[in-house]
Chain A
Amino acid sequence: MIGWAARRVLQALVTFLLAATLAFFLMRLTPGDPLARLTEDRPLSPEAVAALRARYGVDKPLLTQFVVFLGGIARGDFGGSIEHNGRPVAALIRERLPATLLLGGTALALNFLFGVAVGVYQAARAGSRADHALTLVSLAASATPSFWLGLVLAWAFGTELHWFPVAFMSEPWLASGASWSIRARDLLWHLVLPALTLSLVTFGATARYQRAAMLEALALPSVRTARTKGLPERLVLWRHAWRNALGPMLALFGLWLPLLVAGSVFVEAVFVWPGLGTLAADAIASRDYPVLMGTTVLVSAAVVAGSLLADLVHRWLDPRLRES
């Protein structure tokens, strides 16, 4: 298991580096000037332009820039932000990361919860009207644009019903001396709508996979044995069938992560959630390429890591594979 794990980690590393390389060359080779935003509004003298280019390292030959870039990744340095006057991109990312992790993590948990519940329910009643109805619901949910759903939920539950706040991560007027429990509740309340939005548009795929995995598991001879033992149906469903349906679900991690990451850009924008998504969206508006590159590299690392983790856990969960 260790040998296999080491090889798999190495493979993940290679994939990540290749991805970073791809992103780098994509950005550099796409026609357009990375510093256009800074130079377009104010006519600068050639020396000033040259100084700017030197400052952001775009005056050197492409390959040198690439090496600098790779070195930067190893050190966690993504250069300086254009919009924020050279402030290290890494620092900006560090500031915003926890908010995105909180939102993404909560959305992932809800996604899993909804997806498993719906998928197992459907499999246990395969072919029934409820099954067909739920498939339609999952497909409709996956067809919904996340930013639109966010707006609708914000309008319905926020401005109309006043149940939940619709922007930011906390109320700005909360005194810094407020108690821990008040802050926690405030945070939770702000988390509800964005996390709900993100999980609702992504749970459909989970439900479909779970349904399919459960149907396969329910047809297994070992589940038939469990029934002949006279076990209560819920034990048959969860302890026997679902345990065997769990493995394929972990492969979904690779699917979830990109979905959540992409979705979070829109959802954070709609709810003004101070995370990486809004950082990226702002960077787009201000053409702040170092920030964009930094977030892209980070997000790719997350995707690769997520997929790696899913593989490792899948392997560990199945005692048969553990020893081979």
Chain B
Amino acid sequence: MTPLLEVRDLRVTFPGTGNEVSPVDGVTFSIDAGETLALVGESGSGKTLTSLALVRLVPLPGRIAAGSSIRFGGTDLLALGPGALRQVRGRRIGMVFQDPMTSLNPVLTVGDQISETIRAHFPVSRAEARGRSEALLLEVGLGDTAGRYDTYPHQLSGGMRQRVMLAIALAAEPELLVADEPTSALDVTIQAQILALLDQLKSSRRMSVLLISHNLGVVAGRSDRVAVMYAGRIVEEAPTDRLFAAPAHPYTQGLLASLPRLRGPRRPLKAIPGMVPRPEAWPPGCRFHPRCAQVMPQCTSEPPIVAPGEGRWSRCWLGAEGA
């Protein structure tokens, strides 16, 4: 079965002072229909740029480099003209961003912002669109008050705004939902609600989801597979439970070890020493090696892909032949 989304060797470049930099440097992954892939990494790893590249909304002066390939449902997204691209955005791929306050238009009502998405993709009347919008508001848990349609974003709380964002993203019934840090700007209790809502919507609509987060805890019970991103590349990919049970890449191990635990003996937090490198100054070979506790001499050259089966692989010299 061909995957719904196939990304191969995606590179996003920006002009720098002197040479080009590539904050996204050769990213390959795929998502099947109905599957949820989590893309995990710290800020600066290139996750958001990757998600924007999918719908070709990389901000200027950045651009998607030649040699990248993005196929959605068999269509090459990078070859589409503006009109065809607009039919993919919203209708086949929906997006939810991190900060709902700035992502919503402050001068339009939330209802209008949902309706216009519907009317952009379906030939329906205003009244019909309104009806569907109200149904969507109900579906995301905002139908309790009449007149919710006519409220403005600033009149709602953060959690409610994010529900509106979900309603907007789902309005044209997309096959893939890209959620970039959907809960990072919300209080912890609200985070759980929104994530639960996401789960529910995902199964009721049978959507694929690309869930982007820096927080491993968020993706634990909610994704089928996890891809870990570091310095513009994916360094490990595995089914979720496998990743948590036995992380192969030292960076993943470090991330898991640094999660604070509520239970068990008290011990100091384990942080990964050092800092995320900047795209202008990436270390040679394995980009994580300066911070790695298990560094070896050969780590200064490009590490191979190690794929021991079970649907997982990592980019590391550990476990490679000739190590």
A228/B120 contact (C-beta < 8 A), A222-B104, A222-B106, A319-B154 known: no
Kindly list chain B residues whose C-beta atoms are within 8 Å of the C-beta of A287.
none
Contact with A along B68-82 (1 / 0, CB 8 A): 000000000000001
A231, B120: Cβ atoms closer than 8 Å: yes
B117, A229: Cβ atoms closer than 8 Å: yes
B95 at the interface (CB under 8 A from A): yes
Complex formed: what's the CA distance from A243 to B121 in Å? 22
Kindly list chain B residues whose C-beta atoms are within 8 Å of the C-beta of A227.
55, 57, 89
A230 at the interface (CB under 8 A from B): yes
A221, B103: Cβ atoms closer than 8 Å: yes
B146 at the interface (CB under 8 A from A): no
Complex formed: what's the CA distance from A240 to B171 in Å? 18
Minimum C-beta distance from B280 to chain A (A): 23
B107 at the interface (CB under 8 A from A): yes
For residue A219, which residue of chain B has the nearest CB?
Answer: B59
For residue A127, which residue of chain B has the nearest CB?
Answer: B60
Kindly list chain B residues whose C-beta atoms are within 8 Å of the C-beta of A18.
none
B116 at the interface (CB under 8 A from A): yes
For the complex, would chain A's binding face be called helix, strand, loop or mixed by DSSP majority? helix
B97 at the interface (CB under 8 A from A): yes
CB < 8 Å A-B pair total: 80
B106, A320: Cβ atoms closer than 8 Å: yes
A243, B89: Cβ atoms closer than 8 Å: no
Kindly list chain B residues whose C-beta atoms are within 8 Å of the C-beta of A228.
55, 57, 89-90, 94-95, 169
Kindly list chain B residues whose C-beta atoms are within 8 Å of the C-beta of A319.
106-107, 152, 154
B201 at the interface (CB under 8 A from A): no
A-side interface residues, number (CB < 8 Å): 23
B295 at the interface (CB under 8 A from A): no
Contact with A along B118-141 (1 / 0, CB 8 A): 001100000000000000000000
B289 at the interface (CB under 8 A from A): no
A225, B89: Cβ atoms closer than 8 Å: no
A216 at the interface (CB under 8 A from B): no
For residue A222, which residue of chain B has the nearest CB?
Answer: B105
B102 at the interface (CB under 8 A from A): yes
Complex formed: what's the CA distance from A231 to B95 in Å? 13
For residue B94, which residue of chain A has the nearest CB?
Answer: A228
Contact with A along B140-167 (1 / 0, CB 8 A): 0000000000001010000000000100
Minimum C-beta distance from A214 to chain B (A): 15
A221, B99: Cβ atoms closer than 8 Å: yes
A235/B116 contact (C-beta < 8 A), A225-B104, A226-B105, A229-B90 known: yes
Contact of A229 (CB < 8 Å), options: B102, B106, B108, B116: B116
B46-69 residues at the A interface, CB under 8 angstroms: 55, 57, 59
Minimum C-beta distance from A6 to chain B (A): 24
Complex formed: what's the CA distance from A222 to B113 in Å? 11
B106, A318: Cβ atoms closer than 8 Å: yes
A220 at the interface (CB under 8 A from B): yes
For residue A324, which residue of chain B has the nearest CB?
Answer: B154
B86, A230: Cβ atoms closer than 8 Å: yes
A224 at the interface (CB under 8 A from B): yes
A233 at the interface (CB under 8 A from B): yes
Kindly list chain A residues whose C-beta atoms are within 8 Å of the C-beta of B249.
none
Kindly list chain A residues whose C-beta atoms are within 8 Å of the C-beta of B82.
233
A221/B121 contact (C-beta < 8 A), A230-B91, A244-B105 known: no
A3 at the interface (CB under 8 A from B): no
A318, B107: Cβ atoms closer than 8 Å: yes
Kindly list chain B residues whose C-beta atoms are within 8 Å of the C-beta of A240.
105
A109-154 residues at the B interface, CB under 8 angstroms: none
A230/B105 contact (C-beta < 8 A), A319-B152, A319-B154 known: no
B107, A243: Cβ atoms closer than 8 Å: yes
B172, A230: Cβ atoms closer than 8 Å: yes
Minimum C-beta distance from A32 to chain B (A): 54
A221, B86: Cβ atoms closer than 8 Å: no
A222, B117: Cβ atoms closer than 8 Å: no
B116, A243: Cβ atoms closer than 8 Å: no
A172 at the interface (CB under 8 A from B): no
Q: Which residue among A221, A225, A229, A240 has the maximum number of chain B CB atoms within 10 Å of its CB?
A: A229
Kindly list chain A residues whose C-beta atoms are within 8 Å of the C-beta of B95.
225, 228
B105, A243: Cβ atoms closer than 8 Å: yes
Minimum C-beta distance from A248 to chain B (A): 14
A232 at the interface (CB under 8 A from B): yes
B88 at the interface (CB under 8 A from A): yes
Complex formed: what's the CA distance from A220 to B101 in Å? 11
A229, B89: Cβ atoms closer than 8 Å: yes
Known pairs A228-B89, A231-B120. 11 more at Cβ < 8 A?
A222-B106, A225-B103, A228-B55, A228-B57, A231-B86, A231-B117, A239-B108, A243-B105, A318-B106, A319-B154, A320-B106
B-contacting residues of A (Cβ < 8 Å)?
A: 219-222, 224-233, 235, 239-240, 243-244, 317-320
A-B contact pairs, 11 of them (CB 8 A): A221-B97, A222-B103, A224-B57, A224-B97, A224-B103, A228-B57, A230-B86, A230-B90, A230-B121, A239-B108, A319-B106
A-contacting residues of B (Cβ < 8 Å)?
A: 55, 57, 59, 82, 86-91, 94-95, 97, 99, 102-108, 116-117, 120-121, 152, 154, 165, 168-169, 171-172
A-B CB proximity, top 8 nearest: A230-B90, A230-B89, A221-B102, A228-B95, A229-B90, A229-B117, A222-B105, A230-B86
